[in-house]
Amino acid sequence: MFNALLLLVLCSNNLASANSSSERTVGAWLPIEAHNYQAIQAQLQNTSSWGGLLDVVQLSGCGWVIDESTTAMTLNQTLFQSAHCQSIIQTLQAQNIDVHMWVGAVPNLAVSDPSTFIASTKALLNKYPFVKGIHFDDEIECAPRATVANFTSWINYLNAYSDALHAVDVQVSVAVQALFGIEDGPYVHNRYGRNCSNVGG
């Protein structure tokens, strides 16, 4: 495993890349930083061990960020143009591995009105067409939303966002915590200081 930095996952996907069989896509989460990129780059280039295994990498730390005040997808050019990000991106492209950008959690303002978020994401994707997907890690309320009402709003947002990106041939994926803690009631901040609703430990 790439210095314990990549988490491999298997999923069914009919939109597989050239490296994939028709039955599966193999993806990996890659948090990239200046101190670790050279070792990871060398491992990605070790085709005798890793060649053809990965189809998708969810790349974090390269400046794709949601502005919580405006709900726009923004790009930190300092991070994006850094040697460590550009080196890994070029290596992934050379290995025919799709690049998906990891962008963290979705602010509730974007859930309420995704129009700015959708338009700004599409503008960046148009500028950087090598990006084939957007990946969220959304655990704002654990599940990723703790109540039926909040979760319903989140799903409606995700449907609208995904439909808009699928229309330009870009995939959307999300990492969330367990969904079984969702409650049918008002949201109450967890008494243990967590962002879950007010149930148990």
Rounded-to-integer distance, Cα 49 and Cα 36, Å: 19
Domain holding 43, by residue range, is 2-181
Does residue 106 lie within any of the structural domains? yes
Does residue 134 lie within any of the structural domains? yes
Does residue 174 lie within any of the structural domains? yes
Does residue 193 lie within any of the structural domains? no
Does residue 113 lie within any of the structural domains? yes
Does residue 155 lie within any of the structural domains? yes
pLDDT of residue 117: 97
pLDDT of residue 147: 86
Q: Structurally, how many domains does the chain consist of? A: 1
Tokens encoding 44: 């990605």
Rounded-to-integer distance, Cα 50 and Cα 75, Å: 30
Rounded-to-integer distance, Cα 80 and Cα 63, Å: 5
Q: Report DSSP letters for 35-51, one per residue.
A: TTHHHHHHHHT-HHHHT
* pLDDT, tens digit (0-9, with 9 covering 90-100), for 19-65: 545 567 888 889 988 888 898 888 888 888 777 788 999 999 999 99
List the chain residues with pLDDT less than 50. 1-18, 20, 200-201
Q: pTM of the prediction?
A: 0.82
pLDDT of residue 201: 43
Does residue 52 lie within any of the structural domains? yes
Three-state secondary-structure class, residue 105: coil
Question: Rounded to 10 degrees, what is the CA torsion of 46, 50, 56, 57?
Answer: -50
pLDDT of residue 33: 87
